[in-house]
């Protein structure tokens, strides 16, 4: 391809805003949206604040425009400011939101989830994905009267102390005393763990496939989930699917259904409301009373506006068969990126499901070449990130994908020239 | 007073909706809004679902109207669907909400909190009140490298396992292994606890006054908070104020400021955004780096719409001097209720701050007389609850208070006649 070089963006307004932020907010921008954890892009190569968003794009505070493959780290599934979702939310807001009694829109959404998600006989609503993983583990403990939880190495299930590691600040040995780890896709290790701790394990918690950070993502091996389901049944272990990240992008009936099983409990957040603040734990009938027995509530958990937004989101995802769209568009993006890299003598590895593709430039073990390529993309309006899976949204057009590949090509050219 | 008897409400649509809910939601309506925990009103005497809300009132799905003294359990501080707050939120929603990078409205709100709250040198945003109490305790542990936390007996700091009790379903001994309790208003017990566990206590966490359920609420004794502050300083214990419930109603500079001290960390939620889903931990400069060191983030924590709503809420609370209004209106309500009870030979005890008054009919130790009175009120359009503090909102009018006292009087008449 021969194109005019694309001039890189500058970020003076972003950096000025970040200076203000750093004075009054710990770390300036905390968590996975901050400069330290979220991006691993060379400092100075990416902006810090957005000013508006629409469809597949957002604009930073310097007015630079991005085709966005992070989608707010997942919530943007239909496109930013989707008209149908926003209209449903606004209509609900004109009536009521957080009130002393809930709105029946909560029941409408629970019924829609039960109708849509294969493993859902009921739904419980909260705010964070982590509210639902914690509720799932507490439910499993109440149900089994056992303590231990088996995780897959490299897991992320939120930020509650029990989901963290002992060497993280503020975490106690008591917080993680009942955590056991097994490798992904390893039924032999899982069975050995279940046998070693027979009668002690309350739950196995896992994402539907391995989409951890800093590592190529890995799909379930043939028969893996069926094997997990069988082992859980034989050992009386509650199978918790953390579908916070992949949910609503692989399969509207749940990612457990997508891979051929029924989880006992399934956690949703992010894409469930196209950005409106909502999470949900769904599960099978035999766990309903255990959930009801717990003390578990929050100030905004009956907030009606996100329920209305979620109904509109799920309805539209069904109408457009969003998972099929994401598979097709995701393959176009990753096939195009891999080919563009090859055109410059580089090897780009795309892993995971196309709807949530993960990228790695394989020509340099240090990660620096990959980060440099991402930086060149971001500075030219293609928002990807270094060592985290990406997310598709339904408003991404073929023209967006063409532009994506143009920018990526230019960025490959630049780093290939430097890589030598 | 001689008035025509007020006919009690009926709830057929509410009960029908609850039947639907019970099929697809554990407990039907979970948590503190549900029939079991939230109300302690005789079954059948209160509705289950709201259909709309405005100002000081909401309507149930049968069309019955209520003057609401629960305010969504706190969030409604200016009045339901406040025009200024909703306009600010809608304007933000037309630009962006949950995006891959945060909006600078996050910084604007952090600056407003630092300017407004006496003990705030910074702000960290999340969704639940419990997100902030957990972050506060993790920060104290990271900062002090100590484990234990001292609570006040009868505490409520959210639903995370570490805030619960060992005999609650789903809670492990490890979850609560580092919890110590002292009685409210007891500096001697607190000092003895600090000495018994010298060098082991990371934090003391407390609400600004005792507003626990099922007990008359108790204000701090003179000198209590100054004594707590001194003890924490002498023992290197982090003082965490849980202002989730009382915050923004007693003092816009923080309830710690209201009682004459500066907390180290202060937790806000509920009234901070008039219902828009937001919480915040604020604190003093020396804890900022410890907060920044933690792994702590969530899918919607940079959601811009609640930030815009919170700025509008706090700005308006300042303009109208809401705490002074709440004190004056709260006294009118409680003085009027106590007098109305006396007119029927009953003794109503009103306790706590007027903005969050707690009620107890003292003529019957069984609680049943009190619950019966609450039921008669609810069935006539006065929404109070049995064993939880109430909340005022700024849209409550003198006419609302007159009607409140009319309904309460009728309800006192009915229960006094039955009590004999």
Using one digit for the tens of pLDDT, what is the confidence trace for B263-302?
A: 999 999 999 999 999 999 999 999 999 999 999 999 999 9
Are A275 and B172 in contact (CB < 8 Å)?
no
Give the residue-averaged pLDDT of A273-300. 97
Q: What angle do CA B311, B315, B316 make, to 5 degrees?
A: 120
Contact A83/B at CB under 8 A? no
Residue position matching structure tokens 């209106």: B329
pLDDT for A365? 84
Name the token pair of A391.
Answer: 């997310």
Q: CA-CA distances (angstroms) from residue B287 to A27, A33, A231, B136?
A: 12, 21, 46, 10
Query: How confident is the model over B211-246, as pLDDT tens digits?
Result: 988 899 999 999 999 999 999 999 999 999 999 999
pLDDT band at A123 (very low <50, low <70, confident <90, very high): very high
Query: B420 CB near a chain A CB, below 8 Å?
Result: no
Question: Are A159 and B277 within 8 A, CB to CB?
Answer: no
Contact A123 B147 (CB under 8 A): no
Residue B249 pLDDT level (bands cut at 50, 70, 90): very high
Q: Domains of chain B (ranges plus CATH)?
A: 12-69+322-419 (3.90.1150.10), 84-319 (3.40.640.10)
Contact, B76 vs A299, CB < 8 A?
no
Tell me what the mean pLDDT of segment A243-253 comes to.
Answer: 98
B42 closest CA partner among B339, B366, B356, B391: B366
CA angle A377, A383, A388 (to 5 degrees): 105
Q: What is the pLDDT of residue B42?
A: 73
A393 to chain B, closest Cα gap in Å: 12
Contact B138 A171 (CB under 8 A): yes
**Res. B39: pLDDT tops 80:** no
How confident is the model over A236-249, as a mean pLDDT? 98
Kindly tell me if the per-residue pLDDT of A359 is higher than 60.
yes
The average confidence (pLDDT) of chain B is 95
Beta carbons within 10 angstroms of residue B397's beta carbon: 13
Long-range (24+ apart) CB contacts under 8 A made by B215-220 are B215/B154, B216/B349, B216/B351, B216/B352, B216/B358, B216/B360, B217/B351, B217/B352, B217/B353, B217/B356, B217/B358, B217/B389, B218/B184, B218/B185, B218/B351, B218/B352, B219/B352, B219/B353, B220/B185, B220/B259
Over 90: is that where the pLDDT of A98 sits? yes
Q: Which helix (H) or strand (E) holds B111?
A: helix B105-116
- The candidate with the shortest Cα–Cα distance to A331, out of A251, A398, A395, is A398
| Residues within 8 A of B (CB atoms), A 286-315 only | 288-303, 306
**Looking at the partner chain, which of A70, A97, A277 has a beta carbon nearest the beta carbon of B303?**
A277
pLDDT reading at A2 higher than 70: no
A275 to B97: CB separation less than 8 angstroms, yes or no: yes
Eight-state DSSP code of residue B45: S
Res A44: pLDDT: 83
Position B41 confidence tier, pLDDT thresholds 50, 70, 90: confident
Distance of alpha carbon A251 from alpha carbon A258, whole angstroms: 6
Residue B31: the pLDDT is: 72
* B147 pLDDT more than 70: yes
Average pLDDT over residues A383-410: 97
Please say if the pLDDT value at position B52 is more than 70.
yes
What percent of chain B shows pLDDT beyond 90?
92
pLDDT at A335 over 90: yes
Query: Which has more pLDDT, A128 or B34?
Result: A128
Strand A279-283 and strand A122-126: the pairing is antiparallel
Judge: A122–B53 Cβ closer than 8 Å, yes or no.
Answer: no
pLDDT level of residue B25 (50, 70, 90 thresholds): very high
Cβ–Cβ gap A96/B81 under 8 Å: yes
The predicted pLDDT at position A36 comes to: 57
Residue window 93-132, chain B: list those with CB within 8 Å of chain A: 93-104, 106-107, 110-111, 113-114, 121-124, 126-131
**Which of the residue ranges A2-11, A236-245, A331-340, A388-397 would you say has the lowest mean pLDDT?**
A2-11
**pLDDT-derived band of residue A39, with 50, 70 and 90 as boundaries?**
low
Contact B53, B81 (CB under 8 A): yes
Residues A261 and A246: their CA atoms lie apart, in Å, by 16
Q: Using CB atoms and an 8 Å cut-off, which of residues 317-346 of chain B contact chain A?
A: none
Confidence grade of residue B35 (pLDDT, cut at 50, 70, 90): low
ipTM exceeding 0.90? yes
Which of B97, B299, B307, B389 best probes binding to A when mutated, by most A CB atoms within 10 angstroms?
B299
Cβ B25–A294 below 8 Å, yes or no? no
The full DSSP string for B365-410 is TTSHHHHHHHHHHHTTTEE--SSS-----TT--HHHHHHHHHHHHH
pLDDT above 90 for A61? yes
Q: Strand B238-242 to strand B265-268: parallel, antiparallel, or no bridges (unpaired)?
A: parallel
- Residue ranges with strand state E in B158-299: 179-182, 201-206, 238-242, 265-268, 279-283
Which ranges of A176-278 does DSSP label H, i.e. alpha helix? 187-196, 224-235, 255-258
Indicate if the alpha-carbon torsion angle B342, B348, A100, A111 is positive or negative. Answer: negative
Name the residue among A48, A142, A306 with its Cβ closest to that of B101. Answer: A48
Distance CA(B89)–CA(B66), nearest Å, equals 26
Nearest chain A residue to B297 by CA: give it.
Answer: A31
């Amino acid at each position: 391809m021969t194109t005019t070089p694309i001039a890189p963006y500058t970020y003076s307004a972003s950096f000025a805003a970040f200076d203000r932020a750093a004075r009054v907010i710990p770390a300036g921008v905390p968590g996975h949206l901050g400069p330290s954890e979220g991006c691993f892009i060379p400092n100075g190569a990416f902006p810090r604040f957005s000013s508006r968003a629409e469809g597949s794009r957002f604009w930073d505070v310097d007015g630079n425009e991005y085709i966005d493959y992070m989608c707010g780290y997942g919530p943007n599934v239909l496109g930013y400011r989707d008209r149908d979702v926003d209209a449903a939310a606004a209509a609900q807001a004109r009536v009521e939101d957080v009130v002393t009694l809930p709105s029946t829109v909560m029941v409408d959404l629970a019924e829609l989830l039960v109708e849509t998600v294969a493993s859902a006989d009921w739904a419980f609503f909260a705010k964070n994905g982590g509210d639902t993983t914690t509720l799932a583990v507490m439910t499993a403990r109440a149900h089994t009267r056992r303590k231990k939880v088996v995780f897959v190495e490299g897991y992320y299930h939120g930020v509650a102390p029990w989901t963290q590691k002992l060497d993280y600040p503020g975490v106690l040995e008591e917080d993680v005393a009942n955590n056991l780890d097994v490798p992904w896709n390893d039924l032999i290790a899982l069975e050995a763990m279940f046998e070693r701790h027979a009668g002690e394990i309350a739950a196995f918690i896992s994402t539907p496939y391995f989409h951890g950070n800093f590592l190529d993502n890995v799909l379930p091996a043939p028969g893996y989930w069926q094997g997990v389901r069988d082992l859980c049944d034989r050992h009386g272990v509650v199978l918790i699917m953390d579908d916070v990240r992949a949910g609503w992008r692989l399969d509207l009936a749940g990612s457990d259904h997508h891979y051929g099983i029924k989880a006992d409990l399934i956690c949703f957040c992010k894409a469930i409301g196209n950005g409106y603040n909502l999470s949900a734990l769904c599960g099978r009938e035999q766990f309903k009373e255990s959930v009801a027995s717990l003390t578990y509530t929050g100030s905004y958990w009956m907030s009606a506006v996100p329920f209305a937004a979620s109904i509109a989101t799920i309805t539209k995802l069904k109408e457009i068969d969003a998972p099929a769209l994401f598979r097709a568009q995701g393959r176009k993006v990753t096939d195009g990126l891999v080919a563009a890299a090859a055109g410059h003598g580089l090897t780009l590895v795309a892993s995971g499901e196309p709807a949530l593709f993960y990228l790695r430039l394989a020509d340099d073990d240090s990660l620096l070449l990959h980060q440099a390529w991402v930086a060149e993309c971001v500075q030219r309006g293609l928002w990807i990130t270094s060592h985290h899976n990406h997310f598709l949204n339904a408003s991404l057009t073929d023209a967006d994908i063409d532009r994506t590949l143009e920018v990526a090509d230019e960025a490959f050219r630049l780093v290939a020239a430097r890589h030598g």
